[in-house]
Chains A and B, each alone.
Chain A
């Protein structure tokens, strides 16, 4: 297997092509509706991915707020590239021992899913040819790019998708590795190393969604597939491994089809007549609303669409994803029948109509809009035909359960053309010398220093550096708190604080942590008291002393606050204090 990573990190500077703050917000001051259409690049050819999106004919609603100006609305030309953000990108390049380009030229990368008001993402190649050593292996860094983040999708579907513009234009540094990673576990380690290196600049944004990874995975004999926008670092290994399993299944199916000499028949057969009396289900629903049912004949495919031994990947899912991407709910295939309101009698009629034997399979594409059904059928049929070729190159969206879902064809190079509104930027020797002088410490050096200066155990120091806690660790130890205690608080205690499902992670301000550590230092509470006190804070205790009292480790809290706390904790489904402790407080 070959795996390459692209790590995208938001920077904590102003936006890349305007002076708006790089802050997310829920406030909306204005909204407007646009449509996009593909436009030719230098060669005036239209990219396949771009055409695919445009063929869906969606309208996009954009919400603009305090983090926006006319630039994000595509109502004003971009300003020259943000120098501060470029400095950070160049610093990352230098940390990776990459070679900066002599003159940076901003490009337009066509993206017509609506996530950019312009229909393209502005991106620039900043440096090439870097190296990264992880666990004794050298990985090549192909490129360091500086690009603008896209708008946030906040809702909608067909025919209108809603985006908020606050995120649009936030600078992203993109670090892309070569396909030198060989396993899911290694992919995760490399991502961690790159993350630590980016944070070493101290100019990156923190929190969920501020780092996103694209995983390029190609199983042996397979094809490059891009899983785009993974936000949870710890799941990288799982996405990689499951993608490998998916590609292996597709290769196995290809082999089986070859042996059987099986091939999809691309013509649609209208079978509404055979299914007019279908019971409740997608078929009946489509027909009731004046729709149609199209059958795809798959001679020799029987048994290959449903579950297969040794994997929970399924080929039928691949076909369903194509239908979904074309706006349908899914498909029905013969390996799963009778079901969905279709009986053995329906199957018999269908087989008779399609001239299909037991060794053959078929797929039904049904929709209330005959037009949409025909469009979806074309995608499903093309995907089925590709089963004989193997793994299609495509872009996939990560799903929360570690799987991924087809989103669109892989983009080609045609989607890049020059952003003529932004002047090129020379990278001068003087600028590089200045950045080289101020180069931050590399993660490996920080690790060694933390171990030495604070007598931290190696594993604890590792977790501080790769868990993104160096800043807080250094600020708190600078205030006189013992390193091992600070590390325990940041690495063990804080992440263990439970919060209600869906609530943001518990993230108290630094001053609170400072007071908490002072309480341990002064002997007011023991180290073991950190957990219950943090739990009390997470439930809403207003400050550390009150939380200590609430945890049963000090005097009782004042009556007024106890009431409000009780009210809020009663509504919390996953309360974090152990039940015994709660009882003892009362």
Chain B
């Protein structure tokens, strides 16, 4: 036992190391005995957060008259880490797991109270011990960032890692990824990768793995099973098909979009059904699956990041749109309805296409196709040099534009690449079933 408060006890208490045991008598005379733990990010001023012996955390206000006693011999607790050795999962011919961070590889951070990505293989295995038993799964950490922080340059890096994995003899690759921009990355990889000898499966989690109800373990297991399937040679996303933990949808990387901020089944294929499903036992695939190529897998890049994605809305001025496009080599418009923007935008669009800027049109409806022939606006946009991208999602069109700009030598070739099917991204036919 040591020390009493000096002038302001807060000066001393705020500096206490985590794990320090302390007894505090607050200004009302209530005594609190507990262990110092990090405050919540939104904790108030002069609040010391204690874990009581009951396990509850409470915030204790430290006033000038607060007194305290420190208990000695209380070494701060280091988090215990136990993990199987990684070396025995390195056999070739299995599935390789690339990790990028995101909820599927995140845990509650008791430093900040938020959720943070885990970096190393040992931490991944601590959360998913079943991976060690799932046969040959090699784990390669690539990034450790939440997906809102990823850029198209990261897509290119991931594409290289996928090619390396297949080069090492992997028969399928799983990429654990944050869900926020998982759809973008899936589209980007779909365009970047060529001659895939097996599936590339992106997977995420809507609930972090430190929760007993996390969808991470079941999604990851489904992803590994799909990655083992020898009938599949394309980039797909595997996530919950509904709210249950026993059915998973297999989405084509260019058709999929995160359609809900929090549900487990947030990922939906647009304009029709997904490629297939996994029910916990077997993988069912529909007719439009792209079979594996002979290989070897290649990256056909680069991506040119000088493009943008602009959502049209009532009140968007032509000047603001022109400013946005200034300095870009291409822009995808998420137009209204069949692919429209306000009439007064035709001016900047015409001058942009005249300068060689590629202007592509998609629909912000997300379901259905654009069509320039139905209304006068569409016809004028077409005459102004706008490229209409049928039923591509705006995000998919954006990823494709980065790729086409990187590959095409002039605007005409970029437009040709945009309109040519590359990864099965155009549905061409849309059935009568209700949107999922």
Q: B40 and A424: CB pair below 8 A?
A: yes
Q: Are A99 and B28 in contact (CB under 8 A)?
A: yes
Contact A418–B40 (Cβ < 8 Å)? yes
User: Which of A30, A35, A123, A416 contacts B245 (CB under 8 A)?
Assistant: A35
List chain B residues, Cβ under 8 A from A415.
55
A105 close to B210 (CB less than 8 A): no
Could you tell me if B54 and A34 are in contact, using CB atoms closer than 8 angstroms?
no
In the complex where A105-B40, A128-B30 touch, is A119 in contact with B77 (Cβ < 8 A)? no
A125 and B56 contacting across the interface, CB-CB below 8 Å: yes
Give the contacts of A116-137 with B (CB-CB under 8 A).
117-120, 123-125, 128-129
Q: Provide the bound-state CA to CA distance between A413 and B81, in Å.
A: 19
Q: Is the CB of A417 within 8 A of B108?
A: yes
Question: For window 37-84 of chain B, which residues contact chain A by CB distance below 8 Å?
Answer: 37, 40, 42-44, 47, 49, 52-61, 77, 79-81
Given known pairs A99-B30, A413-B53, the reply for A104 and B58 (CB within 8 Å) is yes
Mask of A246-273 contacts with B, CB within 8 angstroms, 1/0? 0000000000000000000000000000
Q: Is A508 an interface residue (CB 8 A)?
A: no
Q: Which of A34, A104, A416, A426 contacts B55 (CB 8 A)?
A: A416
- Judge whether A418 and B213 touch: CB under 8 Å: no
Are B81 and A32 in contact, with the CB atoms below 8 A?
no
- In the assembled complex, the Cα of A414 lies from the Cα of B77 at a distance in Å of 13
A99 CB to closest chain B CB (Å) equals 4
Residue from B26, B54, B57, B262 within 8 A of A76 (CB atoms): B262
CB within 8 Å for A418 and B212 given contacts A42-B110, A424-B40: no
Chain A residues with Cβ below 8 Å from B54 are 125, 143, 413, 416
Q: Which of B81, B207, B245 contacts A33 (CB 8 A)?
A: B245
Known: A74-B207, A103-B44. A117 touches B108 (CB 8 A): no
- B-facing mask of A36-60, CB < 8 A → 1, else 0? 1111101111000010001000010
Q: How far is the CB of A110 from chain B (nearest CB, A)?
A: 7
Give the complex CA separation of A418 and B261 in angstroms.
22
User: CB of B209 within 8 A of chain A?
Assistant: yes
Q: Which residue of A has the minimal Cβ distance to B260?
A: A75
B243 with A75: CB separation less than 8 A: yes
**Contact of A107 with B59 in the complex, beta carbons under 8 Å:** no
Does chain A have a CB within 8 A of B94? no
Task: Report yes or no: A35 in contact with B218, Cβ–Cβ below 8 A.
Answer: yes
Interface presence of B126 (CB below 8 A):
yes
Q: Known interface pairs A43-B77, A125-B54. Does A103 touch B59 (Cβ–Cβ under 8 Å)?
A: yes
Determine the main DSSP class of B at the interface with A. loop
CB within 8 A of B79: which of A43, A129, A413?
Answer: A43
Task: Report if A118-B263 is in contact (Cβ < 8 Å); known contacts: A103-B43, A125-B54, A420-B115.
Answer: no
Query: In this assembly, does A345 line the interface, its C-beta being within 8 Å of a C-beta of chain B?
Result: no
Q: Which of A490-546 contact B (CB under 8 A)?
A: none
* Min distance, Cβ B279 to any Cβ of chain A, angstroms: 12
Check A36–B59 contact: CB distance below 8 A.
no
Asked whether B140 is an interface residue with its Cβ less than 8 Å from the other chain, the reply is no
Who on chain A is nearest to B53 by CB? A413
Q: Is A404 an interface residue (CB 8 A)?
A: no
Judged by a CB distance under 8 angstroms, whether B242 is at the interface is: yes
Interface residue? B197 (CB, 8 A): no
**CB < 8 Å neighbour of A424 from B59, B209, B218:** B59
A124 CA to B242 CA in the complex, in Å?
32
When the two chains form their complex, are residues A418 and B42 in contact, meaning their CB atoms are under 8 A apart? no
Judged by a CB distance under 8 angstroms, whether A347 is at the interface is no
Q: A423: CB under 8 A from chain B? A: yes
Asked if A197 is an interface residue, CB under 8 A from chain B, the answer is no
B172 beta carbon closer than 8 Å to chain A: no
Asked if B42 and A424 sit within 8 Å, CB to CB, the answer is: yes
**Complex-state Cα separation, A535 to B381, whole angstroms:** 81
Does the CB pair A39–B209 fall under 8 Å? yes
A102/B47 in contact, CB under 8 A: yes
- Of the residues B53, B55, B242, B245, contact of A107 by C-beta under 8 Å: B55
A74 interface neighbour in B55, B57, B213, Cβ under 8 Å: B213
Q: Is B246 touching A33 in the complex (CB atoms < 8 A)?
A: yes
A112 at the interface (CB under 8 A from B): yes
Count residues of A near B (Cβ-Cβ below 8 Å): 54
Give the distance in Å from the alpha carbon of A38 to the alpha carbon of B214 in the complex. Answer: 10
What's the Cα separation between A143 and B80 when bound, in Å?
31
- Contact present for B213 and A36 (CB under 8 Å): yes
Give min CB distance, B61 to chain A, whole Å: 4
Give the residue name and chain of the A residue nearest to B266 (CB): A75
Contact B80 A119 (CB under 8 A): no
A448 at the interface (CB under 8 A from B): no
Residues of B within 8 A of A112 (CB): 212
Give, as a whole number of angstroms, the nearest-CB distance from A361 to chain B.
39
Q: Knowing A105-B59, A128-B30, A418-B57 touch, does A38 contact B212 (C-beta < 8 A)?
A: yes
Whether A44 contacts B80 in the complex (CB less than 8 A), given A50-B212, A110-B212, A423-B42, comes out as: yes
Q: A65 CB to closest chain B CB, in angstroms?
A: 14
A46 CA to B147 CA, complexed, in Å: 29
- Quick check: is A435 within 8 A (CB to CB) of the other chain? no
Residue of A nearest to B207 (CB): A74
A73 at the interface (CB under 8 A from B): yes
B44 to chain A, nearest CB (A): 5
Task: Indicate if the CB atoms of A103 and B47 lie closer than 8 Å.
Answer: yes
Contact B59 A104 (CB under 8 A): yes
**Contact across chains for A32 and B243 when beta carbons are under 8 A apart:** yes
Interface presence of B295 (CB below 8 A) = no
Q: Tell me the nearest residue of chain A to B40, going by C-beta.
A: A424
Chain A residues near B211 (CB, 8 Å)? 39, 118-120
- Is the CB of B347 closer than 8 A to any CB of chain A? no
Chain B residues within an 8 Å CB radius of A399: none
Complex CA–CA separation, A143 to B30 (angstroms): 13
Q: Check A70 for interface membership: any CB of B closer than 8 A.
A: yes
Whether the Cβ atoms of A33 and B244 lie closer than 8 Å is yes
Q: B210's contact among A30, A39, A107, by CB below 8 Å, is which? A: A39
Complex interface residues of chain B between 355 and 385 (CB less than 8 A to chain A)? none
Q: Give chain A residues whose Cβ lies under 8 Å from the Cβ of B261.
A: 76
B264 at the interface (CB under 8 A from A): yes
Q: What's the Cα separation between A176 and B214 when bound, in Å?
A: 31
Interface status of B217 (Cβ within 8 A of chain A): yes
| CB nearest to A36 among chain B residues | B212
> Does A577 have its Cβ within 8 Å of any Cβ on chain B?
no
| Residues of chain B within 8 A of A75, CB atoms compared | 243, 262-264
Q: Contacts A32-B242, A42-B110, A418-B110 hold; do A129 and B42 have CB atoms under 8 A apart?
A: no
- Does A182 count as interface, using CB distance less than 8 angstroms? no
Task: Determine whether A1 belongs to the interface, using a CB cutoff of 8 Å to chain B.
Answer: no
Which partner residue on chain A sits nearest B264 by CB separation? A75
* Chain B residue nearest to A101 in the complex (CB): B58
Distance in angstroms from A518 CB to nearest chain B CB is 52
* B113: interface (CB < 8 Å): yes
A101 in contact with B213 (CB, 8 Å):
no
Give B59 Cβ to nearest chain A Cβ, in Å. 3
Q: Give 14 A-B contacts (CB < 8 Å), ordered by A residue.
A: A40-B126, A42-B37, A42-B110, A70-B263, A99-B30, A103-B43, A103-B59, A103-B60, A124-B56, A125-B52, A413-B55, A415-B55, A423-B40, A426-B47
Other contacts beyond A119-B212, A424-B47: 19, CB < 8 A: A32-B244, A35-B245, A37-B217, A42-B110, A75-B263, A99-B30, A102-B58, A105-B49, A105-B56, A118-B211, A119-B211, A124-B56, A125-B54, A125-B57, A413-B55, A416-B57, A420-B40, A420-B115, A426-B47
In the A-B complex, list the 10 residue pairs whose CB atoms are closest, starting with the nearest. A119-B212, A103-B59, A416-B55, A413-B55, A102-B61, A32-B243, A125-B56, A33-B244, A105-B57, A32-B244
